[in-house]
Structure 1
Amino acid sequence: MKTNILGLPVKESEVIANELNVLLSNFQVYYQNLRGIHWNIRGKRFFDLHVKFEELYTDAQIKIDLIAERVLTIGATPLHTFEDYIKYNTVTAGKNISVDEEAVQLIVNSLSHLLKIERGILNKSAEINDEGTNSMMSDFIAEQEKTIWMMQAWLEESL
């Protein structure tokens, strides 16, 4: 079996890089969703949500960079055009969302979708002992599961 400089099988690493590029595309749309709801949120919860959405898009921006750098590390080229992002994205694009519940639900749905992609990558990277990708996916998954829990708690009606 032919391996790359990292000692990972070339063919399987190419598959993982392609899936990371799909994740990258979806994260770019998620990031832009967060920017949009940050800009457009209205209502009595504006101050709290405006800050929270900025925190989330800053985190997403960091993750986007980490994903792109992982693609490069395993020997591929990260996608970097809006044309590619749109082509490979499957996260729902939010448009003109200004209502708090709708904005938070978009985040929950987007993160749930990203988790599915990340778990698929984690399974494939685990098969070839790609610890760099495993670690990154595990960290993303743990953080996003907690964010979903918090957002779901926020969406619940008080008793």
Structure 2
Amino acid sequence: MKLNSLGLPKEQSEELVTELNGLLSNFQIYYQNLRGLHWNIKGKRFFDLHLKFEELYNDSQIKIDLIAERVLTLGGTPLHTFSDYMANSKLKVGKGISKDVEAIQLILDSLSVLLQIERAILTKSNAINDEGTNSMMSDFIAEQEKTNWMLKAWMEEEI
């Protein structure tokens, strides 16, 4: 079995690079959706949601960088074109969304997909003892599960 410079199996690391590039693509679409929600939200909850969407897109921008750097660390090349992102993303593009409930539902749906992808990566990285990827996926999952809980609680509020 060939090992890479990190001491990880080369072939499985290359497979992880592909999976991480898929996650990167999905995060780029998620980020753009959040920017659009931030810019276009309207209504009585504008001030709260405008700030929340900014918080979420700033966080996703950090995660995008971490994913790309992990791809590089594993010896791959991060995807970096919008055509690649669109071709490799499973997320719905949220175009023209300005209503609060629709915006939050888009985020919840997106988080569900991101969590599925991250769990699949975690399973594969765990199988080859890739602690760097394991740690990153575990951190992402924990944060996104909390965000999911908070947004679901918001959706259940009485109007």
Deviations 1:52-106 (A, max 9, x none): 0000000000000000000000000000001100110111110000000000110
Cα RMSD after superposing both structures: 0.8
1:107 alignment counterpart: 107
CA distance in 1, matches of 2:155, 2:10: 45
1:157 shift after superposition: 3.3
1:33 alignment counterpart: 33
Q: Percent identity?
A: 72
Deviations 1:9-42 (A, max 9, x none): 0000000000000000000000000000000000
CA distance in 1, matches of 2:38, 2:96: 11
Instruction: Map 1:1-159 to 2 at 5 A.
Output: 1-158=1-158
Deviations 1:108-134 (A, max 9, x none): 110010000000000000000000000
CA distance in 1, matches of 2:84, 2:158: 42
1:158 shift after superposition: 2.6
CA distance in 2, matches of 1:83, 1:32: 14
Q: Which amino acid aligns with 1:141?
A: I
Tell me which stretches of 4 or more aligned residues in structure 1 moved more than 2 Å.
none
CA distance in 1, matches of 2:143, 2:150: 11
The aligned length equals 159
CA distance in 2, matches of 1:30, 1:146: 17
Unaligned residue ranges in structure 2 (runs of 5+): none
CA distance in 2, matches of 1:158, 1:79: 43
SS at match of 2:84: helix
Give TM-score, length-normalised by structure 1. Answer: 0.99
SS at match of 1:95: coil
